[in-house]
Structure 1
Amino acid sequence: MPLRKEASSSSDSDADDRAAPPSSSLAAVEVQVQLSRFHLETLEGSATGVVEVRGLTLGVDKRELLTDAVLYLKSGVRYGLIGRNGTGKSTLLRALADKTIPGLPRDMKIVYVEQENVPGDGRTALQTVLDAGSARGRLVAQIAELEAALDDDPDPQEEERTDEQGEQEEAARESGARADNSTGDSEPPPPPHPPPRERLTRHQRRLVECVRAILATRAEDTAVEAEQAAARRSRLRGKVALRNALAAREAARRTREDELSYDKAASQAPQLLADLYEALDELGASEEEELAAASAVLEGLGFGAEQRDAPTKQLSGGWRMRVALGCALLARPHLLLLDEPTNHLDIQSILWLQDHLANHCAGQTLVLVSHDRAFLNAVAQETILLRDAALTYFPGTYEAYMQAKAEASAHKERQLGAQERQRAHFEATIQRAEKAARDAGDDKRLLQAASRKKKIDRIGSEKTADGKKFKVSYWVGYHDTLRPQVELDKPEEPVVIQLPPPEALRQRGPLLQLRDVTIAYGGSPKAVAEAEAATAAAVMAAAAAAANPVQSGTRSSKSAVTAGRKAAAEAAAAAAVAAEAAAAEARAAAGVVLSHVTFDVEAGSRIGLLGLNGSGKSSLMRVLAGQLAPAAGELAAPASTRLVVACLDQHSGRRLLQQHGRSSGPEGGPATPFTAVQGCCPTLRQQEVFDYLGKFAVPGPLASTPLAALSGGQRIRVALALEMLARPHVLLLDEPTNHLDLVTVQALAAAVNNWEGAVVLATHDLQFLKDTCNQVWVVEGGAVTRQPQPEAADAVADYAARLMQGIQRRAARSKRQ
C-alpha cells in the first residue's frame, strides 16, 4: 500500500544548484513509498542492515525528483551518488537523515554532514566531537547537564516575576471567559479552557527539560532493543516480541510527548544521575582512549591546537564543517551521508579522509556526493546515478561506470547499425524479388516475397539483457514489435564553457614576473628586513650543515671521524636548527607568509599551485592580481598597459551576490545575470548578452533568474563570465571547482585547456589539476618551489605520496604513544 509523508527541507535540490532564495523559507518535501500491509520493513532491516525501499517518490514544491524509484543500500558498502546539479541528491540525503522516508529501520543510526550551515556553540571543537561522537562523551555531557540543573540555585526575583506572570495569565483567562459569556444567548457557549500549566522558574524548567530528555533517550533505546529482538525471533516468541516492541515504541512516544511535572522530575533526578554514573563505569573504553581518538580525527582534518581549543561559534563555516565531519566519523553510524565533504578541506586533509573512509570504516554504509573525481574513485565501491527521476545502480567506481557507459553506448550503436543494414538488405531483396515476379507474372513468387516481409518485423535483439538467447515467451505483455528494439540512451544536455580569447599583445616574454618577492601582513619594513636576514642566515646554516654532515662512528678507525670533526658537524647541525627556529620566529613577528618567491608566468602557461590551507596560495594569487603589494621584491609586468589580469577566487560568487544581489535591474526588478553583464558592458545588445552567458553554461532561462535565487555553482559561472568580459591575458583561479558538479568541472577543464591565455590555478582537486596544468609549484614552509617532474600527473602523484607518508608516520607515532 502506498504511504505518503511530508516533511520540511531547506531546499528542493542539491546544495550545489538549488534555486531557493536565501530567505531560508522552508520547502515541503513529499515522500511516497510502497510498503506492505504490516510495515515489516522497519523491523526486517534491523536484522540485516540493508535499506530497501520500493516505489519511492520524492517531490518538492510540486516537482518530482524521484518517481517510483527503488532505494537499495547494502550493509557496509560505500556508494558514490552522482547526478547533475538540481536533480535532488542533497534532498535525498536530507530525507534519509530525517527519516522522512517510511520503511527505514528505526534503529538505524544515520548521520548527515551537509556542506553548509553547520551551527556552532560555546564548546571547543574537541569537546564537541567528544560529546557527539563517543558514548562516554554523551554520558559525560548528560551528567554535566543534570548536575548543573541540580546545582542551579533559584533566583528569588525570577520566582517573583514568574508568579506575577502566572497571575497575569490567569487574570487574562478569567476576563476572556467573562467577555465570552456576555456576548448573548445567540452565541454557543465557549469551550472550556484547559487547566493552567504548571508555572516553573528558569532553574525548574531546566531540570524538567534535562530529566525529560534523558528519559526520552532511555525509552528510545529500550524501544530499539525490543524491535531488534522482534526482528530476530519468529513464531510464538516472535509474536510476543513484536507485541513488546510495539508497547515499547508507544511508551517511548508517550515519554517524548507527555508533560513532566517538576516534583516528579526532582524525585527522579538523583536516581537518573546514579544510573548515568553506573553506565559510565561500565564502558570499556577509557577517557584517555576516546580523547586520543577524537584528537587524532581532528588532527587528520587539519586542526591545530588553536582551532581545536577555540569555541566552535568563533570558527568559520569551513572549520565548523570539519567539526561536524569529525563528529560523524567518531560516532560510527550505521549509515553515513556526506555531501561535498572536500569543499573546505586542503589536500592533506582530503588524503587523510580518503584513507580513513576507505580503510577505517568497515561495516559502515556510506553515501557520498563529491565533485572530486580522484576522491570519489578512491572511496566509493559502487555508484548510484540519479537521473530522470530514477536511481540506477552500477557495481563499480565512477571511472568504471563512465567506461562501461561508453562501451555500452558504442555497442548499442554498432548493434543498431547492424540492424539497419540488415533491414536495408531485406528490403532490397524483397523489392528485387517482387520486381522479378511481376515481370514474370508469377503469383507464387509474389506470395513468397510478401512472406519475407515478416522477417523485417522480427529484426531486433537476438539476446536478452542477461545474455540468453531471446525467446518470445520471455517477453511478457503487449508490444508494438515482435522483438525488443535497440534504443540508444537519451543523451544528457552537454555542458560547454567557452572562454573568449585574449586580445593580442605586441611584445614577447613573460606576462608576469616575480623577483625575490616577500609577502607579509601587518609587519613594518624593519621587521620584514630582519625576517629576511634571519631567513638568509637559516639558509646559509642549512647549507653549512649539509656540507658537513654528522657521520656515525664505525669500528674501523680509518672510516671513523675524529672527535673534532664530529663535534663541528654536530655544532653545524644544531646551528642550522637554531637558525631556522629564529627565522620562523622572525617571520611570524613580521607577518611574513612567503619569502624569496621567484617565477614567471609565460603566455599560454598552465601553472598549478599545491599547498595546505594557510600556506600562502591565496596571498600569492592576490599579489599576482595586483590586490596586494609585495613587502619586498618586485612584481614585473610588460611595459604595455594593455595587459589584463582576471581573478576568480572561492568567494567570487558571494561577492557577486553582495554587489549585485540587492540591486535592481533597469526595469526595477531584482538583479539577474543578464542585468549584471549588461551593467558591466552597456554596449552589448540583448541577444549578445544572452549568447555571451550561454558560453558559460548560463542559458536563457537561467540568465533571467534573480541572482539571489541562483545556486553557488551557478553564481560562480556568472562571476567567471563577468571576469572574462575584459578578455584578460592572465586568468587566476583559486579553488574554482567548489560547488560545481562533476560534468561542469570537466567542462571547465576543457575550457581552460582550449584557452589561449595563461592560467595560474590553486585547487585541492588533484584530478582537475592533472587535466589542466603543465607545471606544478608547491607552496610550503614559506617558500614556493617547482616540482622537478616534467609531467603534471607525476608531480601531483609525488606530492600526494609525500603527504600520505607524513600522515602514516603521524598515525604510527600516535599508536605508539
Structure 2
Amino acid sequence: MATCAEILRSEFPEIDGQVFDYVTGVLHSGSADFESVDDLVEAVGELLQEVSGDSKDDASIRAVCQRMYNTLRLAEPQSQGNSQVLLDAPIQLSKITENYDCGTNLPGLLKREQSSTVNAKKLEKAEARLKAKQEKRSEKDTLKTSNPLVLEEASASQAGSRKESRLESSGKNKSYDVRIENFDVSFGDRVLLAGADVNLAWGRRYGLVGRNGLGKTTLLKMLATRSLRVPAHISLLHVEQEVAGDDTPALQSVLESDTVREDLLQRERELSAQIAAGRAEGSESAQLAEIYAKLEEIEADKAPARASVILAGLGFTPKMQQQPTREFSGGWRMRLALARALFARPDLLLLDEPTNMLDVRAILWLENYLQTWPSTILVVSHDRNFLNAIATDIIHLHSQRLDGYRGDFETFIKTKQERLLNQQREYEAQQQYRQHIQVFIDRFRYNANRASQVQSKLKMLEKLPELKPVDKELEVVMKFPDGFEKFSPPILQLDEVGENGAGKSTMLKLLMGDLTPVRGIRHAHRNLKIGYFSQHHVEQLDLNVSAVELLSRKFPGRPEEEYRHQLGRYGISGELAVRPVASLSGGQKSRVAFAQMTMPCPNFYILDEPTNHLDMETIEALGCALNNFRGGVILVSHDERFIRLVCQELWVCEGGGVTRVEGGFDQYRALLQEQFRREGFL
C-alpha cells in the first residue's frame, strides 16, 4: 500500500512543498486523534480542496482522505520503521509568513518560483482545529488518570404544546394533576424511556414497578429536579437522601420542614420584639394580627403533636425525638427524612423504596398513614403487600414505555395478564388474516382477470396496523450452589447469651462469631462455612471496577468464563458484567453481592435484608433458590411476602431478647395492629 506521502504526490502533483510538509506533519503527529475518516477530513480536507482547485469535488477529497486514513491504521504497528521523513510537529505557517512581505510567497516550493495558491489563514484555521482536538483528548486522558470512574448522567427531554406553555406562563393553570406527554429519558447512551406518557391525577397514589435497571429511580429524579416539566405551582418532595446530622433535635427538624409555618413564626417573633421594645410604627399590630390569623388557619399550634405522631409511628421514642440528629445512624436519618416529607405534605410526594429503611411495625404504620394521604404519591416499591395496601394505581415501566393500570398490585397482575393474552390473540389472528390474503395474492398475481382484486388485496395489507407479538420478559432464575453436607447437630448454637445490644445486628454478629458474648457460649460445627449478605452490601463492593474484575480480585486464579458464569446465575450478564459496579442500579448491585457471597459455596447463609432494591421477579426467584438450598438459612427481613415464602419459623428481636412467635407472621401482624389501636394510631 502506498504511503500517505505517495498518495499526496500522486493525487496533488502541484502541491506546494510547505503545504505538503504541513499535511504530512499533521498526519504523523496527530494520527492518534483520528478516530474516524471524518476527523481526518476535518483536519486537512479544506486545505486539500484549496490545493486541488476545481479538479476534485468533496467526494473525491473524502476518498483521498479515506485512503490515507486506511494507510495510517495499517501502518500503526510498524510506524517506527516508516521510511518517509516527516516533521515532529505541524509547522506554524502563520509565524513563517510573518518574515515575508507577501503572505503567499513561501520558500521551498518544489524548486519552483511561484506564489502559493493556498490561503495561509486556512492553514492557521486547520492548525487551530487540530490543536483544540489534541487538547480535548489530553483533558480526557487526564480526567481518566485522576478519576478513573466517570459515571454517566441521566437526561430527559419532552415535547410541549404551545397551549400548555401559555397556560403555565400566564399563571392560570390551577390544576394539581401532572400530565407529561411524549418524553424521553436516557442514562448516558442508554435510552430508558422513549415517547412515554405519565398522568398523575390529584389525590391518587401510584406505585411505579418494573425490572431492576430499567429507570424507575432515574424517572423519579427527573421529576424531582423538574427536568420533566411539573407545573411550577405544584410543590414536590423526593425522599432520597438522609437528613444531615447536627445539633437540631429530631422533633424540631421535622417541624422546620414546614417552611410556611416557620416563616410565619419567625415574622411573629420579630414583630412581637419590635412592639415590646417600643419600636413599632403603627402597622406592626395589624401585621401581627394577620399573622396570628394565618397561623390559626394552618393549625400551627397542633403541628408539634402531629410531628410527634409521625415520628412515633416511624419508631422514634419520646426520648429519641429530643435527641440531636447527629446522634442517629444513617438508617434512622433516612426515617427522619421520610418523617419530614410526611409532615410537610407536598402536592406530589416521591418515594423510592421507603420500606427498605423500616421494620415491620413501621411499615404497617406507614401503610395506614398513607391510606388517608390527601395529595398525590408516586412510589417505587418492590414490596407487594405495601403496594396492595396503599396503591390506587400501578404504573408499569417496561420496553421503554409506561403503562397505567387502575387498582392495587394484585389487580395489576391480573389485568396485565389479560392484556397480554388479548394482545397475543389479536396478533395471531392478524397473522392468519395476513397469510390468507397473501395466499390469494400469490395465487392470482399473474392472472390478468384478477389483477384488480390482487391490487385491492395489496392495499388491504398496506392498511393493516402493524401489530407486534407479546414482549415477554425473561424469567429470573437464581440458584445457590449446594455446598451442603450432613452435619450432626448442633450446627450453630447460642446458649444463655447475655444482652449485648438491643437488636438484630448484634444477634447476627454473635452468630457469625464477629462478637464475643458477654456471657454464655457460641458453638459452631467445625465444617460450618457461613455466607453473609449485609444490609449495607454496597459498602462491601469496589464500585470502581466491573463485576467480573470484582470477582477476579476476590477469587483470583480462575478463568474469566467462570466469573461470568457465576454472575450470569444472578442476572448480571453481557455488557452489565463489564460495566463499573457504580453504574449499576441498586438491584443489580445486590445481584453482584449475591454472586460474590455464593462463589465459595457456603453451607449456611445469614441474610440481612436481602430483598432491598430487588425487583419482584428477583425476590420470587431468590425465595425459590433459598427453598431449594439444602443448607441452613437465617433471614432478617421486613418483607412480609418474602417471609411467608421462605421462613418456617418466625423470631422477633426486641427489648434485648429474641422470642419465637408461635402463630407465624399472621399472629405477629395481629399483635402489632392491636398495639396500634392501644396507642391511638388506628
TM-score (norm 2): 0.68
Q: How far did residue 769 of structure 1 move? A: 1.1
- Aligned counterpart in structure 1 of residue 531 of structure 2, from 646, 655, 664: 646
Aligned to 1:769: 643
Q: How far did residue 132 of structure 1 move? A: 1.5
Q: Is the 8 A contact 1:110 1:333 kept in 2?
A: yes
Look up the equivalent residue of 1:682 and give its one-letter code: P
Aligned to 1:109: 235
For 1:726-741, what aligned pairs fall within 5 Å after superposition?
Answer: 726-741=600-615
Q: How far did residue 416 of structure 1 move? A: 5.4
SS at match of 1:687: helix
Aligned to 1:300: 313
CA distance in 2, matches of 1:450, 1:655: 72
Q: 1:649 to 1:430 in 2, by over 3 A?
A: same
CA distance in 2, matches of 1:33, 1:145: 47
Which segments of 5 or more consecutive residues in structure 2 lack a partner in the other structure? 1-146
Q: 1:701 to 1:479 in 2, by over 3 A?
A: farther
Aligned to 1:39: 165
| Aligned: 1:501 with 2:482 | yes
Q: 1:721 to 1:706 in 2, by over 3 A?
A: same
Q: 1:803 to 1:22 in 2, by over 3 A?
A: farther
- Aligned counterpart in structure 2 of residue 785 of structure 1, from 659, 663, 677: 659
Aligned to 2:222: 95
- Aligned counterpart in structure 1 of residue 667 of structure 2, from 771, 774, 798: 798
Aligned to 2:63: none
Look up the equivalent residue of 2:206 and give its one-letter code: Y
Q: Is the 8 A contact 1:55 1:70 kept in 2?
A: yes
Describe the superposition over 1:65-119 as per-residue Cα deviations: whole angstroms up to 9, x where unpaired.
Answer: 33332221111111111223333323332332333333x33222212211x3543
SS at match of 1:682: coil
Q: 1:422 to 1:32 in 2, by over 3 A?
A: closer
- Aligned counterpart in structure 2 of residue 56 of structure 1, from 183, 190, 200: 183
- Aligned counterpart in structure 2 of residue 395 of structure 1, from 383, 397, 406: 406
CA distance in 1, matches of 2:365, 2:307: 14
SS at match of 1:703: helix
CA distance in 1, matches of 2:260, 2:192: 37
Look up the equivalent residue of 2:671 and give its one-letter code: R
Look up the equivalent residue of 1:130 and give its one-letter code: L
Look up the equivalent residue of 2:578 and give its one-letter code: S
Q: 1:399 to 1:510 in 2, by over 3 A?
A: farther
Look up the equivalent residue of 2:665 and give its one-letter code: V
Look up the equivalent residue of 1:72 and give its one-letter code: N
Look up the equivalent residue of 1:67 and give its one-letter code: A
Aligned to 1:130: 255
CA distance in 2, matches of 1:278, 1:676: 63
SS at match of 1:352: helix
CA distance in 2, matches of 1:277, 1:772: 61
Q: How far did residue 306 of structure 1 move? A: 3.4
Q: For the aligned residues, what is the CA RMSD?
A: 3.9
Q: Is the 8 A contact 2:152 2:188 kept in 1?
A: no
Among all aligned residue pairs of Structure 1 and Structure 2, give the percentage whose two residues are the same amino acid: 35
SS at match of 1:39: helix
Q: Is the 8 A contact 1:671 1:707 kept in 2?
A: yes
- Aligned counterpart in structure 2 of residue 674 of structure 1, from 532, 548, 563: 548
| Aligned: 1:380 with 2:391 | yes
Q: Is the 8 A contact 1:56 1:70 kept in 2?
A: yes
Q: 1:429 to 1:336 in 2, by over 3 A?
A: closer
Q: Is the 8 A contact 1:34 1:56 kept in 2?
A: no
Q: How far did residue 49 of structure 1 move? A: 2.1
Per mean C-alpha deviation after superposition, the further-off stretch among 387-396 and 142-151 is: 142-151
Q: How far did residue 453 of structure 1 move? A: 9.4
Aligned to 1:275: 287
SS at match of 1:378: helix
Q: Is the 8 A contact 2:156 2:186 kept in 1?
A: yes
CA distance in 2, matches of 1:270, 1:630: 71
Q: Is the 8 A contact 2:275 2:284 kept in 1?
A: no
Describe the superposition over 1:629-659 as per-residue Cα deviations: whole angstroms up to 9, x where unpaired.
Answer: 3333333334xx32211111212320233xx
Q: 1:757 to 1:406 in 2, by over 3 A?
A: farther
Q: 1:699 to 1:62 in 2, by over 3 A?
A: closer
CA distance in 1, matches of 2:180, 2:432: 44
Describe the superposition over 1:773-809 as per-residue Cα deviations: whole angstroms up to 9, x where unpaired.
Answer: 22222223333232223xxxxx212212221221222
Describe the superposition over 1:33-67 as per-residue Cα deviations: whole angstroms up to 9, x where unpaired.
Answer: 32225624436884332222323233454544333
- Aligned counterpart in structure 2 of residue 370 of structure 1, from 381, 392, 395: 381
For 1:482-521, what aligned pairs fall within 5 Å after superposition?
Answer: 483-484=464-465, 487-505=468-486, 507-514=487-494, 516-521=495-500
Aligned to 1:83: 210
Q: Is the 8 A contact 2:159 2:181 kept in 1?
A: yes
SS at match of 1:520: coil
Aligned to 1:655: 540
Q: Is the 8 A contact 1:41 1:105 kept in 2?
A: no
Per mean C-alpha deviation after superposition, the further-off stretch among 131-140 and 385-394 is: 131-140
Q: 1:79 to 1:810 in 2, by over 3 A?
A: same
Q: 1:808 to 1:134 in 2, by over 3 A?
A: farther
Q: Is the 8 A contact 1:381 1:397 kept in 2?
A: yes
CA distance in 2, matches of 1:142, 1:414: 66
Aligned to 1:687: 561
CA distance in 2, matches of 1:45, 1:694: 54
Q: How far did residue 424 of structure 1 move? A: 8.5
CA distance in 2, matches of 1:38, 1:704: 44
SS at match of 2:197: strand
Q: Is the 8 A contact 2:313 2:362 kept in 1?
A: yes
CA distance in 2, matches of 1:38, 1:729: 61
Q: 1:693 to 1:110 in 2, by over 3 A?
A: same
Q: 1:24 to 1:417 in 2, by over 3 A?
A: closer
Q: How far did residue 140 of structure 1 move? A: 2.2
SS at match of 1:630: coil
Give the aligned length. Answer: 530
Which segments of 5 or more consecutive residues in structure 1 lack a partner in the other structure? 1-20, 152-266, 435-442, 459-477, 522-592, 594-613, 662-669, 790-794
Q: Is the 8 A contact 1:133 1:328 kept in 2?
A: no
CA distance in 1, matches of 2:599, 2:222: 41
Describe the superposition over 1:688-746 as per-residue Cα deviations: whole angstroms up to 9, x where unpaired.
Answer: 11111111222142322334444443333222222212211111101111222333323
TM-score (norm 1): 0.58
CA distance in 1, matches of 2:469, 2:284: 65
Q: How far did residue 356 of structure 1 move? A: 0.4
Q: How far did residue 376 of structure 1 move? A: 1.4
Q: 1:136 to 1:512 in 2, by over 3 A?
A: same
Q: 1:332 to 1:23 in 2, by over 3 A?
A: farther
Look up the equivalent residue of 1:618 and give its one-letter code: S
CA distance in 1, matches of 2:345, 2:310: 12
Q: Is the 8 A contact 1:495 1:743 kept in 2?
A: yes
Q: How far did residue 519 of structure 1 move? A: 4.0
